[in-house]
Chains A and B, each alone.
Chain A
Amino acid sequence: MAILPADASAAAIPDSTVRHRLDGQTVLRYVLIGLLGLFLYFFVLYPMSQVLWRSLLDNDGGFIGAANYVRYFSTPAIAASITNSLYVSVVAMIITVGLAFVYAYALTRTLMPWRGVFRVIAMLPIFAPSMVQAIAFVFLFGNNGIWTRTTGINIGVYGAKGIVMAEVFYCFPHAMLILIAALSASDARLYEAAAALGASRLKTFFTVTLPGVKYGLMSACFVVFTLVITDFGAPKIIGGKFSVMATEIYNQVIGQQNFTMGATVSVVLLIPALVAFVVDRLVQRRQYALVSSSAKPLEPRKNPLVEGGLFAYCVIIAASITSIYLVTLVVSLVARWPYNLTLTLKHYSFDAVGVWTRLFGTVYVYTPLLNSIYVSLLTAVVGTAIAFIGAYLVEKCRTVASTPLYMISLLPLSIPGMVLGLAYIFTFNVSGSILNRLYGTLAILIISNLVHYFTVPFLTATTSLKQMDAEFENVAASMGVPFYKTFWRVTVPIALPSIIAISMYFFLNAMVTLSAVVFLVAPGTELAAVAVLLMDDAGDTEQAAALSVLIVAVGLAVRFVYWLAMRRVTRRAQAWTQTAPDQLTVMGTGSLA
Chain B
Amino acid sequence: MASPEPRPHAVDLDGIAKKFGSVVALKSISLSVGDAEFVCFLGPSGCGKTTLLRIIAGLERQNVGVVGMAGRDVSSLPPSERNYGIVFQSYALFPNLTVAQNVAYGLETRRVPRARIAERVDELLDLVHLRPHKHRYPAQLSGGEQQRVALARALAPSPSLLLLDEPLSALDARVRQSLRLEIKALQRRLGITTIMVTHDQEEALTMADRIVVMNHGVVEQIGSPFEIYTEPSTLFVARFVGHMNFIQATAGEKPGWARVGSVELRHRPGPRLPVGSRLTLAIRPEEILIGPAARDGENRIVTRVCAIQFLGAFSRLGLALPGETTPTLECDVAVNALAEVGVREGAELPLALKPEALRIFSDGG
User: Which A residues are within 8 Å of any B CB, using their own CB?
Assistant: 1-10, 13-21, 23, 25-26, 469, 471-472, 474-482, 485, 489-490, 493-494, 573, 575-578
A493-B96 contact given A5-B28, A10-B23, CB 8 Å threshold: yes
Q: B49-84: which have CB < 8 Å to A? A: 57-59, 61-65, 75-82, 84
- A13–B17 Cα distance when bound, in Å, is 7
Q: Which of A10, A16, A469, A480 contacts B110 (CB 8 A)?
A: A480
Chain A residues, Cβ within 8 Å of B17:
8, 13
Q: B13-32: which have CB < 8 Å to A? A: 14-15, 17-19, 22-24, 27-32
- A112–B93 Cα distance when bound, in Å, is 43
Q: Which of A1, A5, A18 contacts B32 (CB 8 A)?
A: A1
Answer yes or no: B229 CB below 8 A from chain A CBs: no
Chain B residues, Cβ within 8 Å of A477:
58-59, 78-80
Chain A, Cβ-Cβ closest to B84? A478
Report the 9 A-B pairs with minimum CB-CB distance, sorted nearest first. A479-B106, A471-B92, A17-B61, A576-B137, A477-B79, A8-B27, A493-B96, A6-B28, A480-B80
Chain A residues, Cβ within 8 Å of B236:
none
Answer yes or no: B318 CB below 8 A from chain A CBs: no
Whether the pair B15, A10 counts as a contact (CB closer than 8 A) is no
Whether the pair A478, B219 counts as a contact (CB closer than 8 A) is no
Whether the pair A13, B77 counts as a contact (CB closer than 8 A) is no
A475-B96 contact given A18-B76, A20-B58, CB 8 Å threshold: no
Closest-CB distance, B166 to chain A (whole angstroms): 12
A5-B27 contact given A478-B57, A478-B79, CB 8 Å threshold: yes
Whether the pair B27, A7 counts as a contact (CB closer than 8 A) is yes
Whether the pair B78, A478 counts as a contact (CB closer than 8 A) is no
Closest-CB distance, A573 to chain B (whole angstroms): 8
Whether the pair A481, B106 counts as a contact (CB closer than 8 A) is yes
A576-B96 contact given A6-B28, A475-B88, CB 8 Å threshold: yes
A490-B94 contact given A476-B105, A576-B139, A578-B139, CB 8 Å threshold: yes
Chain A residues, Cβ within 8 Å of B14:
2
Q: List 13 A-B contacts (CB under 8 A).
A: A2-B30, A3-B30, A8-B27, A10-B24, A18-B75, A18-B76, A475-B92, A478-B106, A478-B154, A478-B163, A481-B80, A481-B105, A577-B139
Chain B, Cβ-Cβ closest to A471? B92
Chain A residues, Cβ within 8 Å of B18:
13
Prevailing SS type, chain A contact patch: loop
Whether the pair A20, B61 counts as a contact (CB closer than 8 A) is yes
Chain A residues, Cβ within 8 Å of B24:
8-10, 13
Closest-CB distance, A524 to chain B (whole angstroms): 44
Closest-CB distance, B222 to chain A (whole angstroms): 6
Chain B residues, Cβ within 8 Å of A26:
78
- A480–B79 Cα distance when bound, in Å, is 8
Whether the pair B218, A23 counts as a contact (CB closer than 8 A) is no
A1-B2 contact given A26-B78, A471-B90, A478-B79, CB 8 Å threshold: yes
Whether the pair B94, A1 counts as a contact (CB closer than 8 A) is no
Whether the pair A13, B63 counts as a contact (CB closer than 8 A) is yes
User: Known pairs A478-B82, A573-B96. 16 more at Cβ < 8 A?
Assistant: A7-B218, A10-B19, A10-B22, A13-B63, A18-B61, A19-B61, A478-B159, A479-B105, A479-B106, A479-B154, A479-B157, A481-B80, A490-B97, A494-B96, A576-B96, A578-B139
Q: Which of B76, B84, B97 contacts A21 (CB 8 A)?
A: B76
Whether the pair A480, B106 counts as a contact (CB closer than 8 A) is yes
Chain A residues, Cβ within 8 Å of B218:
5, 7
- A472–B78 Cα distance when bound, in Å, is 16
- A357–B274 Cα distance when bound, in Å, is 103
Chain A, Cβ-Cβ closest to B150? A475
Answer yes or no: B252 CB below 8 A from chain A CBs: no
Chain A residues, Cβ within 8 Å of B110:
480
Closest-CB distance, A472 to chain B (whole angstroms): 6
Closest-CB distance, B136 to chain A (whole angstroms): 9
Chain B residues, Cβ within 8 Å of A481:
80, 105-106, 108-109
User: Which B residues are within 8 Å of any A CB, using their own CB?
Assistant: 1-2, 14-15, 17-19, 22-24, 27-32, 57-59, 61-65, 75-82, 84-86, 88, 90, 92, 94-97, 105-106, 108-110, 137-140, 153-154, 156-157, 159, 163, 218-219, 222
Chain A residues, Cβ within 8 Å of B1:
1
Find the residue from B14, B77, B106 having the highest chain A CB count within 10 A.
B106
Chain B residues, Cβ within 8 Å of A15:
63
- A577–B138 Cα distance when bound, in Å, is 9
A469-B63 contact given A3-B222, A474-B57, A474-B79, CB 8 Å threshold: no
Whether the pair B80, A23 counts as a contact (CB closer than 8 A) is yes
Whether the pair B19, A23 counts as a contact (CB closer than 8 A) is no
Chain A residues, Cβ within 8 Å of B159:
478
Chain B, Cβ-Cβ closest to A22? B78
- A471–B95 Cα distance when bound, in Å, is 13
Find the residue from B79, B110, B140 having the highest chain A CB count within 10 A.
B79
- A26–B80 Cα distance when bound, in Å, is 11
Chain B residues, Cβ within 8 Å of A14:
63-64
- A547–B5 Cα distance when bound, in Å, is 85
Chain A residues, Cβ within 8 Å of B59:
474, 477
Whether the pair A8, B62 counts as a contact (CB closer than 8 A) is no
Chain A, Cβ-Cβ closest to B61? A17
Chain A, Cβ-Cβ closest to B22? A10
Find the residue from A10, A15, A16, A26 having the highest chain B CB count within 10 A.
A10
- A17–B26 Cα distance when bound, in Å, is 13
Chain A residues, Cβ within 8 Å of B82:
478
Whether the pair B78, A21 counts as a contact (CB closer than 8 A) is yes
Chain B residues, Cβ within 8 Å of A494:
95-96
Whether the pair A471, B88 counts as a contact (CB closer than 8 A) is yes
Whether the pair A479, B85 counts as a contact (CB closer than 8 A) is yes
Whether the pair A13, B19 counts as a contact (CB closer than 8 A) is yes
Find the residue from B31, B65, B75, B94 having the highest chain A CB count within 10 A.
B94
Chain B residues, Cβ within 8 Å of A485:
109
Chain B residues, Cβ within 8 Å of A21:
76-78
Chain A residues, Cβ within 8 Å of B22:
10
Whether the pair A16, B63 counts as a contact (CB closer than 8 A) is yes
- A26–B32 Cα distance when bound, in Å, is 30
- A294–B272 Cα distance when bound, in Å, is 57
Chain A, Cβ-Cβ closest to B101? A489
Whether the pair B95, A4 counts as a contact (CB closer than 8 A) is no
Chain B, Cβ-Cβ closest to A476? B105
Chain A residues, Cβ within 8 Å of B154:
475, 478-479
Whether the pair A17, B62 counts as a contact (CB closer than 8 A) is yes
Find the residue from B1, B18, B28, B82 having the highest chain A CB count within 10 A.
B28
A18-B31 contact given A10-B23, A13-B19, CB 8 Å threshold: no
Chain B residues, Cβ within 8 Å of A6:
27-28
Chain B residues, Cβ within 8 Å of A474:
57, 59, 79, 86, 88, 92
Closest-CB distance, B95 to chain A (whole angstroms): 5
Q: Which of B27, B29, B92, B109 contacts A472 (CB 8 A)?
A: B92
- A418–B9 Cα distance when bound, in Å, is 67
Closest-CB distance, A18 to chain B (whole angstroms): 5
- A350–B27 Cα distance when bound, in Å, is 77
- A5–B30 Cα distance when bound, in Å, is 9
Whether the pair A577, B95 counts as a contact (CB closer than 8 A) is yes
A23-B78 contact given A7-B27, A469-B92, CB 8 Å threshold: yes
Closest-CB distance, B142 to chain A (whole angstroms): 15
- A150–B27 Cα distance when bound, in Å, is 87
Chain B residues, Cβ within 8 Å of A8:
17, 24, 27-28
A18-B63 contact given A3-B222, A25-B80, CB 8 Å threshold: yes
Closest-CB distance, B312 to chain A (whole angstroms): 32
Whether the pair A4, B15 counts as a contact (CB closer than 8 A) is yes
- A479–B102 Cα distance when bound, in Å, is 12
- A475–B154 Cα distance when bound, in Å, is 8
Chain A residues, Cβ within 8 Å of B109:
479-482, 485
Chain A residues, Cβ within 8 Å of B95:
494, 576-577
Whether the pair B81, A23 counts as a contact (CB closer than 8 A) is yes
Closest-CB distance, A380 to chain B (whole angstroms): 23
- A21–B159 Cα distance when bound, in Å, is 21
- A480–B110 Cα distance when bound, in Å, is 8
